[in-house]
Amino acid sequence: MFDPQKFIDDQVEKTRSEVKGKAIIAASGGVDSTVCAAIVSRALGDQLIAVYVDTGFMRKGETKAVDGMLKRLGVNHIVVDASDEYFTALEGVTDPESKRKIIGEKFIRVFEREAAKSGAEYLVQGTIAPDWIESGGGLRDTIKSHHNVGGLPSDMSMKLVEPLRDLYKDEVRKVARALGIEVAERQPFPGPALAIRIMGEPTRESVDIVREACAIVEEEIEKAAAAGKMNIPWQYFAVLLPVKSVGVQGDVRAYGYTIAVRAVESVDAMSATYMRIPHEVLESISTRITNRMKAKVNRVVYDITDKPPATIEWE
Amino acid sequence: MRILVVDNGGQWTHREWRVLRDLGVETSIVPNSTPLESISADGLVLSGGAPRVGLDEEAMGMCGAYIDKLEVPILGICAGHQYMALRLGGKAVPSATPEFGKTLVSVVDEDDLFKGLPETFVAWESHNDEVTELPPGFKLLANSETCPVQAMKHETRPLYGLQFHPEVEHTDNGYEIFQAFLDVCEARKKG
């Protein structure tokens, strides 16, 4: 069986022998990159700088929360606001693979800029097994290009260090618990963030809608779980659909967008079942979303597809 | 004991490696282009993959040679299973009803792999093709409502095929099925 303590010791030693000099780590605040930061900082100490990029597609309050968490973790870190660059690069882009590749390349350009300032030659990433499996290559079909694998530009100059490549999320969590990482149980969140929860062009306006909807889904589900009405799902979020439908609000015709709610159970993200959420919880999600965002959204649907045939995220 | 996972490009190839590692055997993933003479193992798992075996046999690399020449137990999964059937004179064609996700598998003959397991259990699927005719010398071990051959075994050689994916977390009894295959490999090794 997988032994997290042995894994930590092996990786600290391996990093020490492989990385000579300064390194930066792509830190999102999620469990994968935070575990990676903790392990690599044990090996490199002050030679490691964590770089968190605010792409403009982060969830409500996320940038501030991650900044605080990285401070408490005790790793050198900086927060880069690159949102203008991302919104410009994604203007008019609707194809999911194009979004992922543009976002992946932008990440690398930001990291290269930061690396140049500090003279770092290595880029540490929290890549885990599903990232490279689903990105495809050779015989393996591309299901989606994960930004940190399939989205890497071919001309990147930094050397990649990826200590978690052979692990799945459940194993990363075991390592996180062994390290006492505070985000050990945090739900997975994709690198391209809310940009791939907007079925269509990611703009400041569309990201505001899906950000608010995601916050409501998270709050309602966490509240229900705290009250013992359900377990916390593996992952739970909202997706903005470009479909408009007719509604009636205060005796007035409405014509607005649709939010799809997604919540799944999984162990490793490689297969998943949709979560059996109690109807009363679904109803409070629906009521809050449509009341709060009445000018934009007047319909909420629940996704009841397993993986396969669907994937967990919609893009 | 050393079991190799032959990679035919499946989404769950690495999961097969993980289950074998969790069961405590030495294991690694090798490309299906690995020459026959470089294969040194007490058992082989032929993974699933994107190749449509009936259409692009070439993509299955050296799998045919492994099936023909090796004497160690071989477990074909999904594309590995379909290719085993095709290679040995059975039939594998596009499924009338492809299966994705949850399916109920019915055991017809528990044999080695399903010993002590329930007669029906939940298994996770992901296939566009399937075996419709067993190769000569094979017997049926399991089926499902929409797939006639969910599991098969050669009568005398240690060759096994599974259409469903025992390596996936959502499949019931997956670790038990892998352990049963390892028991076959172990018994064979002691000879």
Closest by Cβ to A139, choosing from B9, B101, B169: B9
Q: Which residues of A touch B100 (CB under 8 A)?
A: 308-309
What's the topology of domain A198-302? GMP Synthetase; Chain A, domain 3 (3.30.300)
pLDDT for res B191: 84
- Under the banding of pLDDT at 50, 70 and 90, the label for residue B184 is very high
- How much of chain B exceeds pLDDT 90, in percent? 95
Which among B169, B172, B178, B179 is the top mutation candidate for probing chain A, defined by the most A β-carbons within 10 Å of its own β-carbon? B169
pLDDT for res A42: 96
pLDDT digits (tens, 9 = 90+) for A27-51: 999 999 999 999 999 999 999 999 9
Query: Taking Cα atoms as reference points, which of A110, A116, A120 lies closest to residue A20?
Result: A120
pLDDT for res A5: 98
Residues 6+ apart with CB under 8 A from A29: A52, A62, A65, A66, A69, A70, A183
* Residue A62: other Cβ atoms inside 10 A: 18
Sheet containing A159-161, strands listed edge to edge, beginning at the edge strand earlier in sequence: A77-81, A48-54, A23-26, A122-124, A159-161
Q: Could you tell me which CATH class the domain A4-179 is placed in?
A: alpha beta
pLDDT digits (tens, 9 = 90+) for A168-213: 999 999 999 999 999 999 999 999 999 999 999 999 999 999 999 9
Got the DSSP string for B54-67? TT-GGGGTTHHHHH
Q: Which two tokens stand for residue B9?
A: 């490009």
Range list for CATH 3.40.50.620 in chain A = 4-179
The amino acid that residue A48 corresponds to is L
Which ranges of chain A have pLDDT less than 50?
A: none
Tally A–B CB contacts below 8 A.
58
Print burial letters for B32-49: b (CB count within 10 Å at least 16), e (below 16).
bebeeeebebbbbbbbbb
Residue B54 has pLDDT above 80, yes or no: no
Measured CA to CA in angstroms, residue B48 lies from B14, B83, B176 at distances of 11, 10, 19
Residue B141 has pLDDT above 90, yes or no: yes
Please answer yes or no on whether A309 and B168 come within 8 Å at the CB atom.
no
**Looking at residue A233, what DSSP letter applies?**
P
pLDDT digits (tens, 9 = 90+) for B73-107: 999 999 999 999 999 999 999 999 999 999 999 99
Closest by Cβ to A139, choosing from B21, B51, B100: B51
Please answer yes or no on whether B124 and A2 come within 8 Å at the CB atom.
no
Please answer yes or no on whether B49 and A1 come within 8 Å at the CB atom.
no
Q: Is B33 an 8 Å CB contact of chain A?
A: no
Q: How large is the angle between the packed helices A31-44 and A169-179, nearest 10 degrees?
A: 50
Q: Is B22 an 8 Å CB contact of chain A?
A: yes
* Residue A20: other Cβ atoms inside 10 A: 11
Range list for CATH 3.30.300.10 in chain A = 198-302
Catalytic residues of B: 78, 165, 167
Q: Is A234 an 8 Å CB contact of chain B?
A: no
pLDDT for res A307: 97
Domain locations along chain B? 2-190
The helix/strand/coil state of B37 is: helix
Q: How many Å apart are CA A299 and CA A287, to the nearest integer? A: 9
Question: How much is the ipTM here?
Answer: 0.92
Which CATH superfamily does the domain covering B2-190 fall into? Class I glutamine amidotransferase (GATase) domain (3.40.50.880)
pLDDT for res A150: 86
B98 alpha carbon, distance to own chain's centre: 18
Please answer yes or no on whether B22 and A270 come within 8 Å at the CB atom.
no
Q: Is A307 an 8 Å CB contact of chain B?
A: yes
Do the beta carbons of residue A108 and residue A85 sit within 8 Å? no
In degrees rounded to 5, what are phi and psi of residue B182?
-65, -35
Write down the H helix ranges in chain A: 4-18, 31-44, 62-73, 83-89, 96-118, 129-135, 169-179, 204-226, 279-292
B161 alpha carbon, distance to own chain's centre: 4
